[in-house]
A = this chain, B = another copy of it.
Amino acid sequence: MKKLTPQQTKVLNCIRDSINKTGFPPTRAEICSELGFSSPNSAETHLRALEKKKYIEIRAGSSRGINILENSQSLRQNENKVPVIGLVAAGSPTLASENIERKLTIDQGMFKKNVDYFLKVKGMSMLDAGILEDDLIAVHKTDKVKNGDLAVMRVNDEVTLKYFYKKNNLLELRPANNDFKSIFVDLEKDDVVLEGLGIGLIRKN
């Protein structure tokens, strides 16, 4: 399965959204108005790219003739049991079974990226970002992070959720609450690992 570009992913999601909302796939024009293109050919070429990469089928001559190919991989990913991580014991990998509180069944199409686990929030350091204690942060494992991202970091064997800001060799892990102070990490000295990015949140009242 070839990887999609960000724009191609947008188009594929646009098709999914249309089917979910209306019951049928979009026209080229509808894709354009949804994504802000001004030429039908923009949609057309993206569709042909998705077809080439086997994400969709296009039936020639048919209006809305788009079929999303749900192959075995995506079907298996579609409904998924995702672990909920409570407190992480020192020295153990985040996803070690002793850290798994329980599992949540979710549709992997719910968030923009794949959810690898949910992290249960401790404390109120991210209050101003609308993140409260016991909220579940949907975490996508990745090593790609940019400044301002909501990051799950492991600093000296402790897992923390903060905003990520890097400048040269100095890493700032910034909270979203005036009562808390940033954690500064010297990337040359300290032991720090990016666990993943916070791509969503689930709260149970």
Residues on A facing B (Cβ under 8 Å): 17, 19-25, 27, 57, 59, 62-68, 79-81, 100-107, 109-112, 127, 130-132, 135, 150, 198-205
Contact partner of A202 among B25, B64, B67, B110, CB < 8 A?
A: B110
> If A105-B109, A112-B204, A201-B201 touch, does A66 touch B23 (CB 8 Å cutoff)?
yes
Roughly how many angstroms separate A100 CA and B114 CA in the complex, as a whole number?
25
User: Judging by beta carbons under 8 Å apart, are B101 and A105 in contact?
Assistant: no
Contacts of A64 in B (CB 8 A): 24, 63-64
Contacts of A131 in B (CB 8 A): 130
Contacts of A20 in B (CB 8 A): 81, 102-103
Contacts of A203 in B (CB 8 A): 130, 200-202
User: Judging by beta carbons under 8 Å apart, are B200 and A65 in contact?
Assistant: no
